[in-house]
Amino acid sequence: MSDEHVGFPFADHELHLVELVNRVLDRGAVITGEITISVAGVDLVYLGVQLVIAATETARGRAGMIRMPQ
Amino acid sequence: MGVYAYCVVPHAHRPPGDLVGLNGSPVELVEVGDVGLWVSTTDRPEVSIETVQAHNRVVEVAVTEHVTPVPLRFGQWLEDPGQLPAHVSEHAADYRDRLSRFAGCLEFGLRLIDPEATDEARDVRESVPATGREYMQALRESSRLAEQRRAYSETVASRVRELLRDIVREEKVETAQTRHAVLTVSHLVAREHFDEYRERARRLRSVFPALRLLLSGPWPPYSFAV
């Protein structure tokens, strides 16, 4: 019998989003020695979640590139 | 174009044929020895809430009743796909070990917050004393308050451990604390204990009525992948 994919229900959308960003950007295994990510068309060397959030906020303010889902 | 990797999976664990990842790209299985990776051929991704969600969505799809992938951090993009086998081979033994430990488990996040907390230790340290003697007193007071706070966090961590020990497979305590965080911990929990875990974790509200409990999950085990 094949495995069933399981769902991920969450009651609190905001908590979910904060916890999600924290995990996906700052945890998880790394296969490349240096992570380069792109924010609003600018390549940045990844140094940590706080820096990325700061950079993202800057990008949102300047370019309106980052949108929160409704 | 390059290759973007989402997670490490066991050999032959294939994504659904219609699964779409970052930038609308199809998700494929690449096998290196006896482990596999779910990847997309795509340009370097922009970081945004949407791309973070898209990354996680792919990792979640890789989760089944008996398989829990090793989630990769956002941004694992290689310009030259030919470099992928060497990267994976180097860590293959570690990936096999984690896939075995994670099987049938997912991660929960638990935060205990003190909404009334003030960072007294920092306030004392940053005050401007008039004399050298006052400066030394401020340092001693700051150190005493920091120690008091650390001891309280350890008491809370110990009580949480006591309450959950028999249903938690592994725990990871976050050491960097913020002003309000008394305890931030992730737990690896087997699927059969999910309901029991939630129920016991919620009991912490009555154990520590002055603290606010934030419980999240189940998540792919990002916190246990490194």
- What string of DSSP letters covers chain A? -PPPB-----S-HHHHHHHHHHHHHH-SB--SSS-EEEETTEEEE---HHHHHHHHHHHHHHH-------
Write down the pLDDT at residue B71.
98
In order of B107, B108, B205, the CA distances from B210 in angstroms are 26, 22, 8
Distance of CA B2 to the CA centre of its chain: 27
Residue B108's beta-bridge partner residues? B187
- pLDDT tops 90 at residue A32: no
Q: Which residue has the higher pLDDT, A40 or A9?
A: A40
Write down the pLDDT at residue B36.
95
Q: Which of B73, B78, B218 sits opposite A29 (nearest CB)?
A: B73
Chain A nearest-CA distance from B99, in A, is: 12
Distance of CA A12 to the CA centre of its chain: 18
Write down the pLDDT at residue B180.
81
Q: Which of B56, B84, B226 sits opposite A29 (nearest CB)?
A: B226
Q: Which residue has the higher pLDDT, A5 or B182?
A: B182
| pLDDT tier, A67 (very low <50, low <70, confident <90, very high otherwise) | very low
pLDDT in single tens digits along all 226 residues of chain B: 899 999 999 999 999 999 999 999 999 999 999 999 999 999 988 888 899 999 999 999 999 999 999 999 999 999 888 888 888 898 999 999 999 999 999 999 999 988 877 666 666 666 666 788 888 888 888 888 888 888 888 999 999 999 999 999 999 998 766 778 899 999 999 999 999 999 999 999 999 999 999 999 999 999 999 8
Judge residue A34's burial from the number of C-beta atoms within 10 Å of its C-beta, 0-12 exposed, 13-18 middle, 19 or more buried: exposed
Q: Would you call B64 and A41 a contact, using CB atoms and an 8 Å cutoff?
A: no
3-state secondary structure of B70: strand
DSSP 8-state class, residue B66: S
Neighbours of B118 (CB within 10 A): 11
Write down the pLDDT at residue A46.
55
Write down the pLDDT at residue B149.
84
Cα B226 to Cα B223: distance, rounded to the nearest angstrom: 7
Write down the pLDDT at residue B140.
87
A contact test, residue of B222, B223, B226 with most A CBs within 10 A:
B222
Chain B nearest-CA distance from A1, in A, is: 11
Chain A nearest-CA distance from B154, in A, is: 23
DSSP 8-state class, residue B73: P
pTM, two decimals, is: 0.80
